Structure 1
Amino acid sequence: MNLASVFPHPIIQGPTAGAGNTPAQVAAVSNAGGLGTLACSLLSPDTIREQTAQIRALTDKPFCLNFFVQGMPEPDPAEVARAVEWLKPLWSSLGWTELPAPAKWCEDFAAQFETLIALRPAVASFTFGILSEAQIRRLHDAGILVVGTITHADEALAWQSRGADAVIASGTDAGGHRGTFIGAQEDAKLTTFELLPTVVSAVHIPVIAAGGIMSGADIKRALDGGAQAVQMGTAFLVTDECAINPHYRQRLLTAGDHPTRLTRTFSGRYARGLENRLMRELAPVEKQLPAYPIQNALTTPIRAEAAKRGDTELMSLWCGTGVSRARPMPAAKLVETLIAELNAA
């Protein structure tokens, strides 16, 4: 089985961890002939099982499960205390006398991986790191196609050498987290259409373009540039089936020319979103903040409380550079619209 045979239209709905990705959305995209993706990185194994069962109740088409490749951190308590102090102006502005301590820093990827093997989706995609050859063999033995996220050609070659079936070439215009795992995140500077030709010429496995792709014309440009499919996250954030916070959704729909930028203030890993107060206030210490997932866990209660209050200035408003072109409609209608635009182009 190869990737092209799995879904008829060259459109993958990008995983949007923590931004309302739902089984209904995943199933709607797959039923429409694209490839729906469930963001599993922030979910427990039990929740992954429950949501996968919900997807299967809504579609018999292939879908993808997406994960962050990461170990369990053991942070220096002094580093954590420093970060909590830097965050104090933000959490104290919520009326708190202390920042709630995280119950855990992140989900256990090893446990998630075993769950993935047992669930056997058609496709699994990964970001933040790279699997071992043995892990990829286990996925292949379970009938699962393996897709790695990359931000430069060396990472694509690394995934190819370990047996991946395809790579997602993620440009700096993409919303959410950067997937860099070789070299410094700041050094992976290529936009989608700068990155795409360097990856296509470097590897012989299929390349999926991601970042700033919002229309059928954008898809055609990517396919003409050698991509076999595109992955679109921001475009699907405002679809009807996405359970995104309504205040976040409204900010996306009214983004206009409001700037997006890459920041590590929210999570300790560079990610793109709409600029807001939290980004600006932590900018002076941005490079000193703890790495993902420590900073991510520390800011989670602040963002959750801000979401309850509708305060988008303290929420992570992840989106790509094409956000002003996002169109609210049902997910299946968006796939249909994109295909019509692609054919017209």
Structure 2
Amino acid sequence: MNTKLDALGLSSPILAAPMAGGATTPRLVIAAAAAGGAGLLAGGYRTPEALARQIAEVRAASVPFGVNLFAPNPVPIDPATYAAYARRLQPEADRYDLDLAGIPRTEDDDGWRDKIDLLLDAPVPVVTFTFGLPDPAVAEALRAAGTLVGQTVTSPDEARRAANADFLVVQASSAGGHSGTLTPGWTPADIPLGELVHAVGRVSGLPLVAAGGIATADAVADALRAGAVAAMVGTVLLRSDESGASKTHQAALADPPGDRRTVVTRAFTGRPARALANAFTRRYDRLAPAGYPALHHLTGPLRKAAAAAGDADRLHLWAGTGFRHASAEPAAAILGRLVTNL
């Protein structure tokens, strides 16, 4: 393919997405490499110490891998709006004896500086950024340390702004979990992945990795024909043997009702994210204000309690549009099947 990604030595143009919150495990990243591709650890929501332990585990396997970080791009929320949403959600929290009024409004940066320092002190092959654009000096420092730098974009305009990257992850609205949009106050346009890759390719000469709703061999082949050098998959791996997704999440994917669909919602975190529709999204999607990461922290204890209780109606069931193809088997088998049409 003659791109900078060739330095990773991949034999298969497939990447396992960095699904934050526990779904992407070191075992999953290692399995992706065993299938000829590579995986990215999710640095988001992890302490620098926990991330360092995961990096050490994958590094010990001597495989190509990367790390994804949430670049700061906050959506502040005023105290009154935050408190009002907490009051609306309290009836849900009452089921688990949780007091949402006692959760402070938190506007943190997810340990940004400490994680950058970690990746500069002990460089990894690839670092990608989502949510925001890092300062050019950060990208240059990583590159000087021998790291390839990738940037998630969701539009041609964002691709123009990300010219300092080595490659772009072109994420369509069909992707599960949070959108990587640089303008989180708006929901990204629902553009088919192939069209989006082609549009970004017209304005950027960087290598493109396609992401969003990819769950079949045909979808992988289509993404590469559109101009991508590789495909990134996430939801299709959520039920794999190596997945760290909660049992509640996996069960919802395994046996969805016939009319189950995905929706893009701010209800859980105050930032656009695609999930399986459930009672929570139906009740609160239109009521949820923009406000990230404050709303992520507000609903965190409720979501954790729901996952432990098997309560899929109050859990963030992140899922892309290809969710019905998620299967319970080794990740290597899933990834191998995805490249059979190449």
| TM-score bin, normalised by smaller chain | over 0.9
Structure 1 position 87, deviation (Å): 1.4
Aligned residue runs from structure 1 range 118-267, under 5 A: 118-160=121-163, 163-182=164-183, 184-255=185-256, 256-267=258-269
- Mapped contact 2:270–2:290 kept (Cα < 8 A): yes
- Which shifted more, 190-199 or 316-325? 190-199
- Partner residue, 1:282: 284
Asked whether the equivalents of residues 154 and 182 of structure 1 are also in contact (C-alpha less than 8 Å), the reply is: no
Equivalent in the alignment of 2:337: 337
Distance 2:217 2:304 in 1: 35
Q: Equivalent residue of 2:149, what SS?
A: strand
CA distance in structure 2 between the aligned counterparts of 1:17 and 1:282, rounded to whole angstroms: 23
Contact 1:100 1:301 in 2 (8 A): no
User: What letter matches 1:88 in structure 2?
Assistant: Q
Q: Is the CA contact (8 Å cut-off) linking 1:79 and 1:290 kept in structure 2?
A: no
Q: Distance in 2 between matches of 1:284 and 1:226?
A: 36
Q: What CA distance in whole angstroms lies between the structure 2 residues aligned with 1:147 and 1:166?
A: 5
Look up the match of 2:326. Answer: 326
Q: CA deviation at 1:188?
A: 3.3
Superposed CA deviations along residues 5-53 of structure 1, whole A, max 9, x for unmatched, are: 3122110101111142111111111122111111111111101111111
Hey, what's the Cα distance between the residues in 1 that align with 2:255 and 2:48?
36
d(CA) in 2 for partners of 1:72, 1:116: 22
Tell me the SS of whatever aligns to 1:185.
Answer: coil
TM-score (norm 1): 0.92
CA distance in 2, matches of 1:243, 1:193: 29
1:53 is matched with 56
- Aligned-partner Cα distance in 1 for 2:184–2:93: 33
Q: In structure 2, what is the Cα distance between the partners aligned to 1:104 and 1:27?
A: 34
Any residues of structure 2 matched to 1:18-97 within 5 Å, and which? 18-57=21-60, 59-70=61-72, 76-97=78-99
- The residue identity in structure 1 corresponding to 2:153 is I
Alpha-carbon displacement from aligned partner over 1:67-120 (angstroms, at most 9, x marks no partner): 111167875433332221121121123344555525955422121111122221
Whole-angstrom distance in 2 between the partners of 1:27 and 1:104:
34
Q: CA deviation at 1:199?
A: 0.6
Equivalent residue of 1:86, what SS?
helix
Structure 2 CA distance, aligned partners of 1:74 and 1:174?
24
Q: Deviations over 1:211-242 (max 9, x none)?
A: 11112221111111111001101011111011
Alignment-mate amino acid for residue 315 of structure 1: L
Q: Take 2:255 and 2:104, find their aligned partners in 1: how far apart are those partners?
A: 33
Q: Percent identity?
A: 33
Q: Structure 2: which amino acid aligns with 1:264?
A: R
Structure 1 pair 274–19 and aligned structure 2 pair: CA distance change class (3 A): farther
DSSP 3-state at the match of 2:285: helix
Q: Determine the C-alpha separation between the residues in 2 that align with 1:304 and 1:100.
A: 16
- In the alignment, what sits opposite 2:294? 294
The number of equivalent residue pairs is 337
How far does residue 183 in structure 1 lie from its aligned partner after superposition? Answer: 7.7
Structure 2: gaps of 5 or more residues: none
Query: What's the Cα RMSD here?
Result: 2.0
Name stretches of at least 5 consecutive residues in structure 1 with no aligned partner: none
Query: Aligned partners of 1:74 and 1:264: how far apart in 2?
Result: 14
SS at 1:82 equivalent: helix
User: Separation in 2 of the partners of 1:212 and 1:104?
Assistant: 31
| Counterpart AA for 2:202 | S
Cα 1:63–1:283 shift into 2, 3 Å: same
Q: Provide the rounded CA distance (Å) in 2 between the counterparts of 1:216 and 1:201.
A: 25
Structure 1 range deviating more: 207-216 or 309-318: 207-216
SS of residue in 1 equivalent to 2:203: coil
CA distance in 1, matches of 2:7, 2:105: 42
Q: Following the alignment from structure 2 to structure 1, what is the Cα–Cα distance between the partners of residues 119 and 88?
A: 37
- Determine the structure 2 residue equivalent to 1:268: 270
Query: For the residues of structure 2 that align with 1:236 and 1:40, how far apart are their CA atoms?
Result: 18
Q: In structure 1, how many angstroms separate the alpha carbons of the residues matched to 2:192 and 2:20?
A: 22
* 1:103–1:46 CA distance, 2 compared to 1 (3 A): farther
SS in 2 for 1:12: strand
